[in-house]
Amino acid sequence: MLLLIMNRLRLDKRGISNVIVAMLTLVLVVIIVSNVILTSYQMNQFDWERMQENVEIVNVASTVDGTTFTLQNKGSVTVHLVSLWVDNTTIHQRYDMDLYINAGDSVNYTLSNIGSVDNASIVKVVTDRGTISVLNSSWQNS
Amino acid sequence: MQRLFKIFRDKRGISAVLSSLLLTVVAVAAMAIATSATYVITTNLRETMSERVIVEDVWFNNYTNSIDIYIRNVGEVTVYILAVYVNHTSQPFPSPFTLEIGEHQWLNISQNWVPNSSYYIDVLTTRGTHVAAYYESP
């Protein structure tokens, strides 16, 4: 009996195009939805990591080697610093950086080719995720 | 040879073949259009969601009497700057201004500014992302 029904179904070709159309449409919908969900997930991850970033410029000190910036990562993710800015009334100077700081770590970063950094300067660092940390005029030049 | 010639001259059943062929062409074309549309829609959505731009620095430049904005692309797609507004007024800028992934550069706005004033600077991309904030001139 079952064999008879199966045989009949196999020979019956009616409505097969509808099934094919539905399958193809389903495939397209799945591709669209999965693509959007995947990208959304990736960017949510990026934004979440960016929110966890917390870099603090602890101190700026003039030494014989140049100017040393003490940077501390107070966040819960590793940060990649890409820019260092020293802004004053006459010039806004940007320096390239390529420094990774692990969560909780503190690093001294020395720049030798830097001009005078006075107390009125605004110092800031930028991460590759786009977080900006600023230190302005309250730091001690030791 | 004669048999082949006979087959070519025989017109019976040709409309069925033609209709099947036409239906196949229509189906393939429809699927091609649907696939292209899918690709375009997902690409646009993905690019819009992946766009991230930051303003690293704004310099009220005394020497050039301009407002210089340092922009960085931290997203995962190329960014095209469409417009820059200072206090809700569109400003001319060197166009086209494009930033590849990870790229960063100055965007100079020729705008007369006065000291000790607040300026609302809004950078708009072609995909509709706004990067806007208030900045105080020195």
- Mean pLDDT, residues B92-108 taken together: 92
Chain mean pLDDT for chain B: 90
CB A82 within 8 A of CB A72: no
pLDDT value at residue A80: 95
Closest Cβ–Cβ partner in B42, B56, B76 for A36: B42
Total-model pTM: 0.79
pLDDT per position as a tens digit, B38-91? 888 888 888 999 999 999 999 998 888 899 999 999 999 999 999 999 999 999
In angstroms, the separation between the Cα of residue A81 and the nearest Cα of chain B is 12
Interface test with B, best of A17, A28, A91, A93 (most B CBs within 10 A): A28
Superfamily of domain B52-136: Immunoglobulins (2.60.40.10)
Question: Could you list the pLDDT tens digit for every one of the 142 residues in chain A?
Answer: 788 888 887 777 777 888 888 888 898 888 888 888 998 999 999 999 999 999 999 988 888 888 899 999 999 999 999 999 998 888 899 999 999 999 999 999 998 877 777 777 899 999 999 999 998 655 444 4
